[in-house]
Structure 1
Amino acid sequence: MNYQSTYQAARIVAPQLEAIFAQHLRAAKESGEEDLAPLPEARYVEHILDATFWASLRKEEGHNTKISIAFVPPEQAGNPLLLKHTLPLNPAVLTKIAPGVERAGVHIGVWHKNDELYVWGTTIIIPNFCFILDVSEPGLLVIKHRRIYGFGKYTNLAVLKGEQIKFVDTTSPRSRDWPTMLLTLLDLTAPSYWNDSVNVLIQLAVSMRAHQRGGTLLVVPSSNSNWLQSIVKPILYGVQPAFGGLSKLLEQERKEASQIFWQTALKREVDHLAGLTAIDGATVVNDKYELLSFGVKIGRAKGKEILEELSYSEPVIDGGAKIIPATKVGGTRHLSAAQFVFDQKDALALVASQDGHFTIFSWSVKNNRLQAHRIDSLLL
């Protein structure tokens, strides 16, 4: 290959990424899966990472480069948009075409000929376990693949931010009382668990993070109203009756022909609800995804102890759980959400920071301790 990479992190991670994809593809073939993407060889991965990284630092007409690249031949892409003349894969080309392909779900198709990589066009349909590289901000690269089961967010494998390298850890032991949402993001749940309700919670998290204002979403049981004990009264923005935009969609029986319309309606309802989390205070929904209130102030429930410490982890290599003082978990938003779940142990709290950090708070029955999982590396 004539292309010479200069981004050191690309050289470091390329062989590891080839090994990860090889393992996934081998397991998928052994289980009889079809429509599998080709293996991304390390030499091609390095080239793609390098060209994309330098493109991410450039601007086109004052705008940052935001793109998604799929390593796939055009014959394996569904209904591909093909260029009459292919383009060389380099930072200049990626920067130039970025404005037209920055919408979610649109991928720049990249393949090779005579050991040279080229851009052949765009696609919105890709095969299973396809190598995807996303850029959402300068210097931030996310490597992911398409899930086999269900629709929803792709599975993240690694995050590169400048010289920082984070590999998502899917090999270390998992606890049964980890939130199902986290296990699903790690692609560790059985296909039957990749259900609509879990998918909705993940989409809510992605949408909350996207508005970049920070926010808190509290998920409480629909069987009781104990959560009100941890809310400061009066509640200024209570919802009566509970708003069931999401819950009604989840109850609908969907035929294949109407699936795309259902997904569009779902996204609209998700963005509507997630947008409310930008309002100062917490947004509260029950486990049926009915909206109960928003802009609420969290207070310690009467008779409950002050949270002193918690288990903190990040699902990346060397990000295992450690016990930290509660005050170290983040600012006021994080601490209040942590205290809420400490008081209301059957609840779940999702907290987005303005800087992009995202944390799930849940109660561990097994360890009798509050657990905090930082998952922004899975949501990018």
Structure 2
Amino acid sequence: MASSSYQAAHLASPRIEQHFSDLIAQAGAKGESGFAKAPSTGVIEEIINAAFWASLRKEEGHSPRISIAFLSPQQAEQPLLFGKTLPLTVSALTKLAPGIERAGIHLGVWEQNGELFIWGTVLKIPNYCFVLDVSEPGLIVIKHRRLQGFGKYTNIAVLKGDEIKMLNKDCGRLQECPALVTALLDIHAPCSFNDGVNVQIQLAVSMRAHRHGALLLVVPPQSDDWKQSVVHPLQYPVYPSFDALHLLLTSDTAMHNDQFWQLSLRNEIENIAGLTAIDGATVMSSQHHLYAFGCKIVRKAKAETIEKVLFVEPVLGSKPTQKFIYELGGTRHLAAAQFIADHPQALAMVASQDGHFTIFNWSAQQQMVQAYRIDSLLM
């Protein structure tokens, strides 16, 4: 192990251990089975410590990108077993990183006789399995596989330098919280590939990944009201509307477990998410019909100019706070907030070039726009 300890690992580990213990205990009480063993506080601290110091090193000029899963080889499905186990050290992680940096590959780590060791790699892991991801130097994300195994993993904590963010499920229980946010917090999570909220999550992940900045407006189907808030003529109209994603999602459900159907779905999500990188807003219906991209958003005629939003970040210690819109970001955030104020039935998704991601929706109870900062949920 590294000679010096990462202080954030020591501080966060007890809370992470408690989360996994509670999660698995609740699952067992409901009669669920097939889930992984919860790691101890010491195990969590040791894994975080090794991953953090490894993330600051370089191998052949590249910073390590690592995903570690805590499970035994017996719990893994079709694991790739090393001929001999390796100690969990900074040096071992740095050397192995180039071979496991692709998405979906986890380095298997287990404990024996009080020592942690690396036993191989695995693609499929049990429900609620502890996973640690390193995607950039000094950034550690703790997550677990969802119970049904569909879609993005559920994030538990984000550690960046000396900053610790423990995610707060209670934010997802606030009135009028967007379904996308509650799903990311694993509250009433989508359980199928063709769930519309699950598709929105995958779109958000892809939009954030391209790092160009993006604005996606999700509007009610069979309504042209959104056109009152865009500059005409449209620069990039789509006519007739592009329905490939809609057709995939409404196809025979028997096809949805087919790997070729799933690949087609991912490709169409990447296709639409790619268009959001073009300057302006992309407009799509809640039934996944693509109407236009590169749209310039303007205030609806006779509508009031929005100044403040209710800002919510789903992390412990953060409370809903009214903020001026310019405190959140630039023109994309202003355009998104104004659009939602003018079209309360819509949803706006904004990705910033710096990695921030914000969901805007309307709160009838608060009579104002809500802004949920969710990049901690998308990492």
TM-score normalised over the length of structure 1: 0.96
Classify the secondary structure of the residue corresponding to 1:213: coil
Instruction: Give CA-to-partner distance per residue, 1:234-289, whole Å, 9 cap, x none.
Output: 11100001001211110112337843222211111111110111111111101111
Structure 2 partner of 1:123: 122
Structure 2 partner of 1:99: 98
Give structure 1 stretches of 5+ with no counterpart.
none
**Does residue 216 of structure 2 align to residue 229 of structure 1?**
no
Structure 2 partner of 1:363: 362
Which whole-Å CA distance do the structure 1 matches of 2:184 and 2:239 have between them? Answer: 33
Which whole-Å CA distance do the structure 1 matches of 2:62 and 2:328 have between them? Answer: 34
Cα deviation for residue 223 of structure 1 reads 2.7
Classify the secondary structure of the residue corresponding to 1:178: coil
Structure 2 partner of 1:253: 252
Which whole-Å CA distance do the structure 2 matches of 1:294 and 1:353 have between them? Answer: 17
Whether the aligned pair in 2 keeps the contact of 1:277 and 1:294 (CA below 8 Å) is: yes
Q: Percent identity?
A: 52
Aligned residues: 379
Q: Residues 153-302 of structure 1: matches in 2 within 5 Å?
A: 153-171=152-170, 174-189=173-188, 196-255=195-254, 258-302=257-301
Which whole-Å CA distance do the structure 2 matches of 1:192 and 1:95 have between them? Answer: 36
After superposition, the Cα gap between the structure-2 partners of 1:278 and 1:313, relative to the gap in structure 1 and judged at 3 Å, is same
Structure 1 partner of 2:86: 87
**Does residue 146 of structure 2 align to residue 147 of structure 1?**
yes
Whether the aligned pair in 2 keeps the contact of 1:5 and 1:51 (CA below 8 Å) is: no
Which whole-Å CA distance do the structure 1 matches of 2:120 and 2:154 have between them? Answer: 24
Whether the aligned pair in 2 keeps the contact of 1:5 and 1:47 (CA below 8 Å) is: no
Whether the aligned pair in 2 keeps the contact of 1:150 and 1:194 (CA below 8 Å) is: no
Whether the aligned pair in 2 keeps the contact of 1:159 and 1:165 (CA below 8 Å) is: yes
Instruction: Give CA-to-partner distance per residue, 1:358-380, whole Å, 9 cap, x none.
Output: 00000011211100000000000
Q: Residues 294-333 of structure 1: matches in 2 within 5 Å?
A: 294-333=293-332
After superposition, the Cα gap between the structure-2 partners of 1:195 and 1:364, relative to the gap in structure 1 and judged at 3 Å, is farther
Please tell me the root mean square deviation across aligned C-alpha atoms, in Å.
1.6
Whether the aligned pair in 1 keeps the contact of 2:220 and 2:285 (CA below 8 Å) is: yes
Which whole-Å CA distance do the structure 2 matches of 1:194 and 1:121 have between them? Answer: 29
Cα deviation for residue 39 of structure 1 reads 1.3
Structure 2 partner of 1:65: 64
Whether the aligned pair in 2 keeps the contact of 1:300 and 1:339 (CA below 8 Å) is: yes
Classify the secondary structure of the residue corresponding to 1:298: coil
Cα deviation for residue 327 of structure 1 reads 2.3
Classify the secondary structure of the residue corresponding to 1:202: helix
Classify the secondary structure of the residue corresponding to 1:239: strand
Instruction: Give CA-to-partner distance per residue, 1:168-191, whole Å, 9 cap, x none.
Output: 011357223111000100111166
Which whole-Å CA distance do the structure 1 matches of 2:223 and 2:171 have between them? Answer: 36
Which whole-Å CA distance do the structure 1 matches of 2:327 and 2:360 have between them? Answer: 14
After superposition, the Cα gap between the structure-2 partners of 1:148 and 1:173, relative to the gap in structure 1 and judged at 3 Å, is closer
Cα deviation for residue 66 of structure 1 reads 0.6
Whether the aligned pair in 1 keeps the contact of 2:308 and 2:324 (CA below 8 Å) is: yes
Which whole-Å CA distance do the structure 2 matches of 1:114 and 1:275 have between them? Answer: 49
Which whole-Å CA distance do the structure 2 matches of 1:103 and 1:53 have between them? Answer: 19
Matching residue's letter, 1:295: G
Which whole-Å CA distance do the structure 2 matches of 1:33 and 1:114 have between them? Answer: 29
After superposition, the Cα gap between the structure-2 partners of 1:191 and 1:173, relative to the gap in structure 1 and judged at 3 Å, is closer
After superposition, the Cα gap between the structure-2 partners of 1:12 and 1:66, relative to the gap in structure 1 and judged at 3 Å, is same
Structure 2 partner of 1:349: 348
After superposition, the Cα gap between the structure-2 partners of 1:130 and 1:192, relative to the gap in structure 1 and judged at 3 Å, is closer
Matching residue's letter, 2:65: K
After superposition, the Cα gap between the structure-2 partners of 1:257 and 1:377, relative to the gap in structure 1 and judged at 3 Å, is closer
Cα deviation for residue 290 of structure 1 reads 1.1
After superposition, the Cα gap between the structure-2 partners of 1:85 and 1:192, relative to the gap in structure 1 and judged at 3 Å, is closer
Classify the secondary structure of the residue corresponding to 2:170: coil
Whether the aligned pair in 2 keeps the contact of 1:149 and 1:194 (CA below 8 Å) is: no
Matching residue's letter, 2:104: G
Cα deviation for residue 88 of structure 1 reads 0.9
Instruction: Give CA-to-partner distance per residue, 1:316-360, whole Å, 9 cap, x none.
Output: 012221111222221111111111111111111000000000000
Matching residue's letter, 2:114: D
Classify the secondary structure of the residue corresponding to 1:62: coil
Whether the aligned pair in 2 keeps the contact of 1:337 and 1:349 (CA below 8 Å) is: yes
> 4+ runs of 1 displaced by more than 3 Å?
2-5, 190-195
Which whole-Å CA distance do the structure 2 matches of 1:259 and 1:176 have between them? Answer: 37
Cα deviation for residue 64 of structure 1 reads 1.5
